[in-house]
Structure 1
Amino acid sequence: VDIVNDYVLPALQEENTPVFFFVIDCLRFDQWLVMEKLLADDFKIDKTFYYGILPSATSYSRNSLFAGLYPSEIEQYYPDLWYGNDEDENSMNKYEKDLLQLQLERKRINLRNELKFVKVIDPEYGRNFEHNIRSYRNTHLTAVVINFLDMIAHGRSDSDLLKEIAPDEPAYRSLTNSWFSHSYLITTFKAIAAMGKAKVIITTDHGSIRALRGAKVLGDREASSNLRFKYGRNLKVDDKHAVFIKDPADYKLPRRGVTVNYIIAKEDYYFVYPTDYHKYLSYYKDTFQHGGISLEEMIVPVITMEPK
């Protein structure tokens, strides 16, 4: 919630310096440490950490990151920008540029020129952005969302080949290293370094956890389908496996109705309904998930880089 205020806004005060704000979806801190080594020759790198918000899911955390507000505050002040179905991350995150623009206006930040907002959803789009990166050197603030790591995390759930390539955390870091070292993103960063004068801020909305233990959950048919957090009526789960949120306002979450509660999975648990329990227990075991409470999901790196 404070990252734009604490890191991006101060960078904007520097004269004639383009600021690039990268949000790499689903970036774990250990993955960043792997990526950082490949940039050390080109940039002076400073890193710190924040706690992300709960639930550690894109539809909540990324909107809050750009808005500089908690989910309940976004719903309160900008209901038109919060409305949507958060089963679908695309529909819930289509107003990110608007939320960032509104935060800049609230903080009375006057950009030298128009805010540029780029969302990279596939490698081809990423390569186009990389080819055009020099055209952004006079833009005061360019915000960039990179979705690829989130796609790796979700893709591993459905791909036996990816599971074989990345069977555990060290292999997952190795896969990240392999992707980054050959990606449009590293060449984009190197092109920014070649500009000489620029500031790059990198962060994420949440990390991910390797889900290994199932937690049986009861709820009505209207309950959300997420594996690491749910909201709905009459939700029941063992409190050893999850945090039960009776009053969403305590966690600055939207109320969604008088009788609607939230549950958020702890540690490496994932929620499974009793129907076809063993089928789904097996299907989702050993997949990378997010939305819950764990250090891997909630410790958010914030990196500031300047060309050497």
Structure 2
Amino acid sequence: DYQQIAMQMMECRTAEDWMEIYRRLVSWELKLSDTASPMAEMLGMQKEEANQGFAKYIAKNYLDWVSPDNRDRHLMSPDIFKRKIFPLLDEGKKVFLIVIDNFRYDQWRMLAEDIGDLFDIDEQLYMSILPTATQYARNAIFSGLMPNKIAEMFPDLWVDEDEEEGKNLNEAPLIQTQIERFRKHYTFSYHKVNDSQGADRFLEHYNECRN
């Protein structure tokens, strides 16, 4: 499989190709995580090689992806509500959107194994905008816009890098702007959980969120 992954990396041409490489590398990482196999070192070298190749791919294509004229790009941070959340709501379904900060794919795979008996999991990867830092990537998800567009259209909701104010304090208003921009009439409940007290507060309102 090592040789197959190496060959596959040489043939990567699309985002989907690189996502498949990532899935395979993470799968092997998890299999070898509790062993002292010499394959773990080889896997680390292969992952570093994949990172270098992926970085070159990003450098070559990123500006094209974020061009306002690009309507056919693969799924990115600003597209999640428009392409994934709104269609479900339009069908009359209730949606819980859970965004977990700094949550790697390998961590998700471990969690998915634990909750697989409770949920039907339909997994899809997407591409984050750059920088992937919280204040940029999360705000892009909730607003459906690139950061420069948020600052341009909603300057009262954007906090610059050099300002001391928290950078993600306006997530609920950004969601509202996206709903209004697409002329939707949904209602939503927003809960930010930073600690155990926040989790307790959310659980107190859990049944209300389900209705």
Q: What range is the shorter-chain TM-score in? A: 0.5 to 0.7
Inter-partner Cα distance in structure 2 for 1:92 and 1:127:
24
Question: How many Å apart are 1:39 and its aligned residue?
Answer: 1.0
1:39–1:59 distance in 2 versus 1, CA, 3 Å: same
Aligned mate of 2:192, from 119, 139, 161: 119
Aligned pair partner of 1:110 in 182, 185, 194: 185
Q: Which residue of 1 aligns with 2:126?
A: 50
Is the Cα contact below 8 Å between 1:59 and 1:86 reproduced in 2? no
Identify the residue that residue 173 of structure 2 maps to in structure 1: 98
**Cα gap change, 1:116/1:106 in structure 2, threshold over 3 Å: closer, same or farther?**
same
Shift of 1:84: 4.1
Note the C-alpha offset of 1:126: 0.6
Asked whether the equivalents of residues 75 and 82 of structure 1 are also in contact (C-alpha less than 8 Å), the reply is: yes
| TM-score normalised according to structure 1 size | 0.41
Structure 1 or 2: larger helix share? 2
Q: Within 1, Cα distance between the matches of 2:126 and 2:83?
A: 11
In the TM superposition, what is the alpha-carbon distance from 1:86 to its structure 2 partner?
A: 5.5
Of 59, 67, 70, which aligns to 2:146? 70
What does residue range 89-168 of structure 1 map to in structure 2 within 5 Å?
91-111=166-186, 114-138=187-211
Q: Deviation at 1:87?
A: 6.8
Structure 1 gaps of 5+ residues are 139-308
- 1:86 to 1:69, Cα distance in 2 relative to 1, 3 A: farther
What are the superposed Cα offsets for residues 112-142 of structure 1, whole Å, 9 maximum, x if unpaired? xx3211001111221331243112111xxxx
Distance 2:116 2:102 in 1: 22
Residue segments in structure 2 that go unaligned for 5+ positions in a row: 1-77
Q: Per-residue deviation at 1:63?
A: 0.7
The aligned residue for residue 12 of structure 1 is 89
- What do you get for the CA RMSD once the two structures are aligned? 1.7
Q: Does the residue aligned with 1:48 lie in a helix, a strand or coil?
A: coil
Structure 2 CA distance for partners of 1:131 and 1:37, relative to 1, 3 Å? farther
Q: Do 1:84 and 1:91's aligned partners in 2 also have CA atoms closer than 8 Å?
A: no
Displacement, 1:85? 4.3
Cα distance in 2 for residues equivalent to 1:105 and 1:54? 26
Q: Deviations over 1:49-72 (max 9, x none)?
A: 111111110111111111111111
1:10 partner SS? helix
Structure 2 residue identity aligned to 1:121: N
Task: Tell me by how many angstroms 1:2 deviates.
Answer: 0.6
Amino acid at match of 2:194: I
Query: Which residue identity does 1:26 align to in structure 2?
Result: N
Amino acid at match of 2:178: Q
Deviation string 1:150-180 (CA, Å, 9 cap, x unpaired) is xxxxxxxxxxxxxxxxxxxxxxxxxxxxxxx
Tell me if structure 2 keeps the 8 A contact 1:104–1:110.
yes
If the length of structure 2 is used for normalisation, what is the TM-score?
0.59
Q: How many residues were matched structurally?
A: 134
After superposition, the Cα gap between the structure-2 partners of 1:86 and 1:103, relative to the gap in structure 1 and judged at 3 Å, is farther
Give the letter aligned to residue 118 of structure 1. H
Distance 1:132 1:93 in 2: 22
Q: CA deviation at 1:46?
A: 0.4
Q: 2:176 corresponds to which letter in structure 1?
A: Q
SS of the counterpart of 2:166? helix
Q: Deviations over 1:195-251 (max 9, x none)?
A: xxxxxxxxxxxxxxxxxxxxxxxxxxxxxxxxxxxxxxxxxxxxxxxxxxxxxxxxx
Question: For 1:24, which of 78, 84, 100 is the aligned residue?
Answer: 100
CA distance in 1, matches of 2:122, 2:177: 28
Larger RCO of the pair (alpha carbons < 8 Å, separation 6+): 1
